[in-house]
Structure 1
């Protein structure tokens, strides 16, 4: 079997967060889990590429057969420069590497653009559906979301193919993409090893950054009438921008309700410990594709409740692996969460089914094998 040389473009989150002094690369949980699976496959030679606006430490390798290329692209490599310096730096390195295929992870920043302008066979994975988010927010011309949606359209049209995590994305790119594949995200194996010790009193976790899209205020509104009855604690685990009016409103609302706690962004160890303790995980998003928060909870065996929007119904089968509610209706949110709180055997039965589903479809090995099949199909190489 011919060995495939794959260049995968993944943002190093240290650059986005301006954490230039951190010593190790930081990738999103979905690409990181995929890398774990791919590095186990001897038929893959993997090169991970990212750009940075300021110098950062970077290892030459991330693991066996996984090489890392962190490319300086200058201060205007972000949205202000339409990512052009980043795309230029990526293309130069890709031309030197001559990979069989270039895979851009995400349309939110430079990754998809770097892939489609690489002059090599390429594909992109759509993680965030920028066009759907821009529609939801009725994004004004030349705002971040408006520009992001147009760059996403450009990348999807030019890509050799698009990996869709859910049927929601499949619908979004129909008529634009040359070809599509349906393949979900992978989950880090550590989440499958969580040993649950749920809190004696209801301890609900909402693991999402504090932005309007994630709908935290409506969740608080939904639970306020019954929080005292159940003696529950609602923990928000997510970062936010203190300048954002929504974040300010959220902080004020949390301060009014002693049963609400905002613990900021949870790093991996905190997340694993939080899932072990959680009664259930709640995600009331107004738009989402294949949220890792739900996949990680499912892998850990934690009951899940989430909004009936976007790709979430692909992730959760209603009343089988979790519950789905209308995120714009506080009464509907409250009704579903009350039922889960009052029927512990039922919610644990759904959690067990969800964990089994995650073990079948979301392991790094399964998702990596799916990617290799896609690469070979794109290049028309027999497996």
Structure 2
């Protein structure tokens, strides 16, 4: 491998429809989860490639067709699948499709993004050195969320099958490192933070002076603590001049039932926005006084990291990776997860804080967090992970 780029194949649910350089019929697809961290890493290597020949394999039944296209430094292999053959076959259908593609590519190593859609399980079945990046911990999710959907419970099963076999696992936050080590005991584990998009590092702050503008960015869902948020806001004094921008639609029976608990005058203070681009999310953060993250279960919420590098004070649950990014009295306030009284106390504290109530944070903390959560740091750390696997990849290649 010395003397040439390291050939890496991603198995990923990569959001190609978000790429402006993608073919027109792919850009016209309904947009799924933006998975911005994968795009950030790809763009970081686009700006400065350390020596990676990147191949991104994405499998989806929604693709208009199977095709291959290039956006340096990557070649995208979009594989259209047949509906109903992925999860029911325990992703053996996917394994067959991926194996057929990789036989042509002969990568030095494979990077499986997540366990949720079978990527880690597929990588374990292939004859290549590989690493797995945790994007969510379904085992933990199913412990916290009652009556978790069947697919989530299946994903938790896949997690147990996949992570314990992986030669190298990367994950974000100290909490996730400890959880993966204690529950799955992979051979090696690295903590690599996923960076927010550079647009959030460049936000120019202009919070309003005449009111408290609160932003929440996440699903309207029990797991995200939406009920706790609304209960806490309803208990603020009526004269408190607050407004809430909720990025994410209020859909489903749980959301509709929750809406009946509060009067119409309460909902008049809340505006829902959905389908936003990253630039539009950054614009909302530029005018936010606070971001609240009331989540009950989250490995490393991207919305919190986006707010942290944008310089928005965060009122966040002391859960998952949030305490790694929200430092009390420096850039936010923490509260006990699932506890509405603790959330209300933290919110009142933030509204009385000399900096947070004006939408300001400690400048030194902001600089440190922007460096810690920078795309350059993420790119360097992932390349280091690849080079750690390179000797094993070379040995495995010689044995094939």
Equivalent position of 1:181 in the other structure: 190
2:160 counterpart of 1:150: no
Equivalent position of 1:56 in the other structure: 64
Pick from 77, 81, 86 the counterpart of residue 94 of structure 2.
Answer: 86
Shift of residue 78, structure 1, vs aligned partner? 4.0
* Contact 1:102/1:115 (8 A) holds in 2: yes
Give the secondary structure class of the aligned counterpart of 2:167: coil
CA distance in 2, matches of 1:265, 1:327: 27
CA distance in 2, matches of 1:62, 1:187: 24
* Contact 2:246/2:272 (8 A) holds in 1: yes
CA distance in 2, matches of 1:229, 1:62: 56
Deviations 1:163-214 (A, max 9, x none): 0211212122214311111111112111111111112311100100112100
TM-align CA RMSD: 2.5
2:9 counterpart of 1:7: yes
The 1:13/1:369 distance shift into structure 2, 3 A limit, reads closer
Equivalent position of 2:21 in the other structure: none
Give the secondary structure class of the aligned counterpart of 1:228: coil
Equivalent position of 2:138 in the other structure: 130
Shift of residue 354, structure 1, vs aligned partner? 4.5
Deviations 1:220-246 (A, max 9, x none): 111212152321012211135x4x332
* Contact 2:198/2:375 (8 A) holds in 1: yes
CA distance in 1, matches of 2:297, 2:221: 12
Give the secondary structure class of the aligned counterpart of 1:236: strand
The 1:61/1:189 distance shift into structure 2, 3 A limit, reads farther
Runs (5+) with no aligned partner, structure 2: 18-24, 393-400
Give the secondary structure class of the aligned counterpart of 1:299: helix
Equivalent position of 1:67 in the other structure: 75
Pick from 28, 35, 54 the counterpart of residue 28 of structure 1.
Answer: 35
Equivalent position of 1:209 in the other structure: 219
CA distance in 2, matches of 1:59, 1:65: 17
Farther off after superposition, 145-154 or 38-47: 38-47
Equivalent position of 1:338 in the other structure: 348
Equivalent position of 2:378 in the other structure: 367
The 1:48/1:184 distance shift into structure 2, 3 A limit, reads same
The 1:14/1:183 distance shift into structure 2, 3 A limit, reads closer
* Contact 1:206/1:235 (8 A) holds in 2: yes
Farther off after superposition, 272-281 or 258-267: 258-267
CA distance in 2, matches of 1:250, 1:352: 38
* Contact 2:213/2:287 (8 A) holds in 1: yes
Give the secondary structure class of the aligned counterpart of 1:379: helix
Deviations 1:56-75 (A, max 9, x none): 26874453221100112211
The 1:233/1:253 distance shift into structure 2, 3 A limit, reads farther
CA distance in 2, matches of 1:189, 1:297: 12
Equivalent position of 1:355 in the other structure: 366
The 1:194/1:59 distance shift into structure 2, 3 A limit, reads farther
The 1:112/1:351 distance shift into structure 2, 3 A limit, reads farther
* Contact 1:116/1:159 (8 A) holds in 2: yes
Runs (5+) with no aligned partner, structure 1: none
Equivalent position of 1:327 in the other structure: 337
* Contact 2:308/2:325 (8 A) holds in 1: no
2:170 counterpart of 1:170: no
- After TM superposition, the score normalised by the length of structure 2 is 0.86
Equivalent position of 1:197 in the other structure: 206
Pick from 77, 101, 105 the counterpart of residue 97 of structure 1.
Answer: 105
CA distance in 2, matches of 1:318, 1:294: 14
Farther off after superposition, 287-296 or 4-13: 4-13
Farther off after superposition, 189-198 or 105-114: 105-114
Farther off after superposition, 84-93 or 64-73: 84-93
Shift of residue 263, structure 1, vs aligned partner? 2.3
Give the secondary structure class of the aligned counterpart of 2:55: strand
- After TM superposition, the score normalised by the length of structure 1 is 0.89
Shift of residue 137, structure 1, vs aligned partner? 2.2
